[in-house]
Amino acid sequence: MEIHSKEQLDSNLNQCQLRLRYFFHNVSLLRTALTHSSGADTPLMSNERMEFLGDAILGYTICEKLFEQFPDLQEGELTKIKSEVVSRATCNELGKELGLDEFLVLGRGLTPKRLPNSILANTMEAVIAAIYLDGGMTVVQKFILQVFGPVINKVSQNTDGNNFKSVLQQISQRELHASPEYVVITTSGPDHGRCFKVLVKIKQHKFAPAWGNTKKEAEQRAAENALAMLAGNTPPYGE
């Protein structure tokens, strides 16, 4: 929207801070983060520089979170989740959920109802940078994970369709407050073609073991057995 008075701008900044659940020590940082180039007196007074910084902070925070949350995912799987979580579409959608479009400082010809998605996505990144500059890395990472956390869970559930270890890790931590332990209970075959039998332990619970041509395959199958048993179903892989 176009801001016609200092009083209106201050009111919008206050409302925006309530939506963000973060109150700035230096409110001018938020003002800059909400200022599109079309509404800025000079390019350096717009949020374009903050977009650059916020994009990097967002990417780093999500990468670190995924690395910690999904210890069994390979690089390609982590990259796929990260790309979707930090995408322009996601940032745009989360910006709408926060109502950032109501507080943008725009030039003539632009209105919140007719914004290109990129403008709100860039503003989301700029707000992240503003919070970082105002409160530091710990504060901004808490904000990012609060806002983007549900998206991480949703995207990872769709991505993890065949990664039973990752799914079991999430469920066991959430419901049993422990991580699964994978135990090789026996092997068979020659060194060049060895098979592995693995079972999953979670605290005092032991689940049906499974064979695999590799240790990784056996662990995935054992995890699938555990998921089935936790759901009250027959494990798909027998002795």
* pLDDT tens column, 109-156: 777 777 788 899 999 999 999 999 999 999 999 999 999 999 988 887
> Residue 202's beta-bridge partner residues?
205
Catalytic residues: 55, 125
Supply the pLDDT for residue 39. 78
Exposed e or buried b per residue across 18-45, where buried means at least 16 C-beta atoms within 10 angstroms of its C-beta: eebebebeebebbbbbbbbeebbeeeee
pLDDT tens by residue, 62-121: 999 999 888 777 788 888 899 999 999 999 999 999 999 999 988 877 777 777 888 999
Supply the pLDDT for residue 5. 59
Is the pLDDT score of 232 beyond 90?
no
Is pLDDT larger for residue 54 or for residue 155? 54
DSSP assignment string, 48-115? HHHHHHHHHHHHHHHHHHHHHH-TT--HHHHHHHHHHHTSHHHHHHHHHHHTGGGT-B--TT--GGG-
Backbone angles phi, psi at 131, to 5 degrees: -65, -40
Supply the pLDDT for residue 146. 95
Domain segments of the chain as ranges: 6-161, 164-230
Supply the pLDDT for residue 131. 98
Give the pLDDT band (50/70/90) at residue 201.
very high
Supply the pLDDT for residue 159. 66
Supply the pLDDT for residue 2. 44
For the domain spanning 164-230, the CATH number is 3.30.160.20
Supply the pLDDT for residue 94. 97
pTM confidence score: 0.68
Q: Is 135 helix (H, G, I), strand (E, B) or coil?
A: helix
For the domain spanning 6-161, the CATH number is 1.10.1520.10
Dihedral (Cα; 97, 134, 33, 98), 10-degree rounding: 10
Is the pLDDT score of 3 beyond 70?
no
Q: Distance between CA 60 and CA 148 in Å, rounded?
A: 13
Q: Which of 7-11, 24-28, 202-206 is least confident?
A: 7-11
pLDDT tens by residue, 10-44: 788 999 999 999 999 999 999 999 998 887 878 78
Residues 76, 82, 84: CA angle, nearest 5 degrees: 110
Q: Could you give the residue ranges of the DSSP H alpha helices within the chain?
A: 6-20, 27-33, 48-69, 75-85, 88-98, 117-135, 137-159, 164-171, 215-230
Q: Distance between CA 117 and CA 99 in Å, rounded?
A: 13
Q: Distance between CA 12 and CA 44 in Å, rounded?
A: 21
Is the pLDDT score of 173 beyond 90?
no
Q: Residue 210: which H helix or E strand, with range?
A: strand 210-212
The closest of 186, 175, 185 to 206, measured between CA atoms, is 185
CA neighbours closer than 13 Å in the CB half-sphere of residue 83: 7
